[in-house]
Amino acid sequence: MRIIAGTCKGTIITAPRGSRTRPTADKVRGAIFNMLGDITGLTVLDLFAGSGALGLEALSRGAAEALLVDNEPADLAAIRKNIKKLKLENARAMRRDYLAILKDAAKKQRRYDLIFVDPPYRMHRVIEPELDCWLPKVAASGARVIVESDSREEVSLPLELVAEKVYGDTRVRIFLVPDAAPSDSQ
């Protein structure tokens, strides 16, 4: 696995050992970022980060900062190793539960421009109600939420679906958070 483009292009990154983590393939990652276009200056939240490949790719392509979150110790060790190898000072790795991160960000009014949601596929049905509730509270106006799932699985969020592609067993959906309504300040 490698970083595909940007300042860290071609650098090999580590995937956590074991069968629990399913790293996003280079081809799929490349397709996601082609769909996203320019991400310069955006803030990124990578939930269920695994190796951190999505968040690290975003930083390599010009994102301003990224929080890479995973609850598994082996995953977090791989993320930290990758951050160190890539010398990315604007990346933070955190071992926490996705729901705790979302609730904390909402409480602190922390907003993200790009949110990657790539949990173990079997978890989508279980976590969807929490994502429905909390993602809109941590997404900036005009943010995009990228959800990776099994190609046969239906995933919906209370956001506008703007792109959907299937790559073998993987389905990628990009949702758009509506722009905030202009305030009436007279």
pLDDT tens profile 67-124: 999 999 999 999 999 999 999 999 999 999 999 999 999 999 999 999 999 988 778 7
- CATH of residue 80's domain is 3.40.50.150
Q: What is the residue-averaged pLDDT of the chain?
A: 90
Q: Which domain holds residue 47?
A: 30-176
pTM: 0.92
Nearest 5°: the CA angle 126, 128, 132 is 150
Tell me, yes or no, whether 166 lies in a domain: yes
Share of the chain above pLDDT 90, in %: 74
Tell me, yes or no, whether 2 lies in a domain: no
Q: What are phi and psi of 145, to 5 degrees?
A: -115, 120
In the chain, the number of structural domains is 1
Query: 41-71: buried (b, 16+ CB within 10 Å) or exposed (e) per residue?
Result: ebbbbbbbbbbbbbbbbbbbbebebbbbbbb
